Amino acid sequence: MYQPGNQMPPYRRPSMKGPLLVMLFVFALIGGAFFFVFRQVRTVIDQALPAGLEATIVAGSGEIASIPPLDAPVRLVGDQGIWVADIDGDELPEILGQGYVANAYGILLLDGASGKLLWNVPLSDTSIKLGYFSDVVITARERELRAYAIDDGRALWTATLPDKVQIYPFRAYAIDDALVVQSADNALTSFNRQTGAQNWQVTLREPYAQDFQRLADTICDSERPEDNPEAIYCYDLRTGEPARTYELGIEQFDRALWWADDQPQNPGLYRLRPSGDALTLERLGVDGAAQWAQPLPEEFERSSASDFTLVSQGDQLAIGTEDRVAVISAGGPPVIVQQTERALYPIGFDGPNLYLAAVKQRGTPTLLVQTIAAGTGEILHMSPEIANSDSSLDMAEPRWAVLPGQGLLVGAQDIEDDDKVLVQLVGGDSTIAWRYTQTMFIGRQPAIRLSGNRLLFSTSDLVAVLDARTGQVLWQIEN
């Protein structure tokens, strides 16, 4: 019977808060234990990696501390490894770059014969720029320069610039025992390469002179000071003083085209300027005297400045504008190469022959290599389609190299598989002599650099050294 004050309490679910907290605590303990075990296993695996990597660490204070053979994985970063001088006496060049030893970032020098780490120097910042100048390695960050010996990585000196270093790209030049560096305020500062003592400092006339080209003992750039016509001004690398001026003879900036030709036997420059309804290409000696001049067909005049590509070797030169290529030998009349189906880009000379990259104009812009007789313009050989132009045709990137007497080395994305990158040797008869292919995980296009018969192939995923003649892999490091 129902009576007020005597009813049963309403039904309530038992509280789960306590058990849930206990379960969360247990899971946290399990997760912590798993993480601890994982770290221990990872340490054991790392310790099991091949030993024998000798390293020298240079502390931030500049003191040198040698450490015993280091059991740690080594990996280069990006595709910026370069060949440098032999330092271990095996008559083979070494490889300089930036990367990691275990988790420590820094400068790395690898044995070119085996990939073994010769020395490394820790760096505090991954944005530091690296330069190599014969006997020293230079790092640049903001206003600070540091120099290290190439043979063992020991710290040599530290110097301060008047303004931030001009690092895009890093502009520095070696001459005699000096290093000349351009900073962002367009000052040139000369340092002794071994001591860091400042030799001199000058400020350039033109505040935006950035596209310097080396020409013998000078660096040159086109400038338009105040109301004067644009000209090429060259600065002496030994003193910083103005050395020479070459008139361009034109008023329009987009026609100010010139290229330094810094060959040791006959340095000079090429100057392209209007002559009536056409363009005339001239070669000047270092003294400014004209060595030869050849008019180009009027079709060249309609091309914009950015279309021109020029390659030279000895007394041979090829200048192209996609639609056509003019080949000039020993200053003689130009031989014109023109095709309707393909855009043409001169790549390099191999003796009497010229290699052209020929890109299909319609449909997928696939690329093949043509071997041209430089003296006649005759197509001697034509390779199969080897790449897409957007993955290999960037003249600012090191993706081409002529192997004298053997053919043209080409680094590119695989034409049949977008997930792979490769390097291949296109023989002088345009057959594919060999091909080296690797899976690409990050999406970086390959860079290739040739030293003698050794080929350095690098991407964001790996670094490999191959015999350029056969394609045999001598060693590789996966990043």
As a three-state string, the secondary structure of the chain is CCCCCCCCCCCCCCCCHHHHHHHHHHHHHHHHHHHHHHHHHHHHHHHCCCCCEEEEEECCCCCEEEEEEECCCEEECCCCCEEECCCCCCCCCEEEEEEEECCEEEEEEECCCCCCEEEEEECCCCCCEEEEECCEEEEEECCEEEEEECCCCCEEEEEECCCCECECCECEEEECCEEEEEECCCEEEEEECCCCCEEEEEECCCCCCCCCEEECCEEEEEECCCCCCCEEEEEECCCCCEEEEEECCCCCHHHCEEEEECCCCCCEEEEEEEECCEEEEEEEECCCCEEEEEEECHHHHHCCHHHCEEEEECCEEEEECECEEEEEECCCCCEEEECCCEEEEEEEEECCEEEEEEEECCCCCEEEEEEEECCCCCEEEECCCCEEHHHHCCCCCCCEEEECCCEEEEEEECCCCCCEEEEEEEECCCCEEEEEEEECCCCCCCEEEEECCEEEEECCCEEEEEECCCCCEEEEEEC
Backbone torsions φ then ψ of 176, nearest 5 degrees: 50, -125
**Mean pLDDT in residue range 373-402:** 83
**Mean pLDDT in residue range 359-370:** 87
State yes or no: pLDDT of 265 exceeds 70. yes
Residue 70 pLDDT: 44
pLDDT confidence of 396, banded at 50, 70, 90? Answer: low
- Per residue in 55-107, pLDDT tens? 222 222 233 333 333 445 788 886 678 999 999 888 899 999 999 988 899 99
pLDDT confidence of 2, banded at 50, 70, 90? Answer: very low
Backbone torsions φ then ψ of 90, nearest 5 degrees: -95, 5
Residue 52 pLDDT: 28
At a CB cut-off of 8 Å and minimum separation 6, what does 363 contact?
A: none
In sequence order, what are the beta bridge partners of 183?
A: 165
Q: Are the CB atoms for 121 and 96 separated by under 8 Å?
A: no
Residue 28 pLDDT: 63
Q: Determine the Cα–Cα distance for residues 39 and 464; give it in Å rounded to an integer.
A: 30
| Rounded (5°) CA angle 318-322-323 | 100
Residue 274 pLDDT: 79
Residue type, 76: L
pLDDT confidence of 292, banded at 50, 70, 90? Answer: very high
- Per residue in 102-146, pLDDT tens? 889 999 999 999 999 999 999 988 888 899 998 899 999 888 999
Q: Are the CB atoms for 399 and 412 separated by under 8 Å?
A: yes
Residue 35 pLDDT: 52
- Per residue in 30-41, pLDDT tens? 666 555 544 444
Residue 228 pLDDT: 67
- Per residue in 147-176, pLDDT tens? 999 999 999 999 998 887 765 667 899 999
Domains, the chain, ordered by start: 43-170 (2.40.10.480)
Peptide bond connecting 4 to the previous residue in cis, omega within 30 degrees of 0: no
- Per residue in 236-258, pLDDT tens? 999 999 898 888 866 554 456 88
**Mean pLDDT in residue range 369-373:** 94
Please give the mean pLDDT across all residues of the chain: 80
The model carries a pTM of: 0.79
CA within 13 Å, CB half, 97: 27
Backbone torsions φ then ψ of 112, nearest 5 degrees: -65, -25
What tokens does 438 get? 């690797």
Residue 14 pLDDT: 46
Residue 279 pLDDT: 85
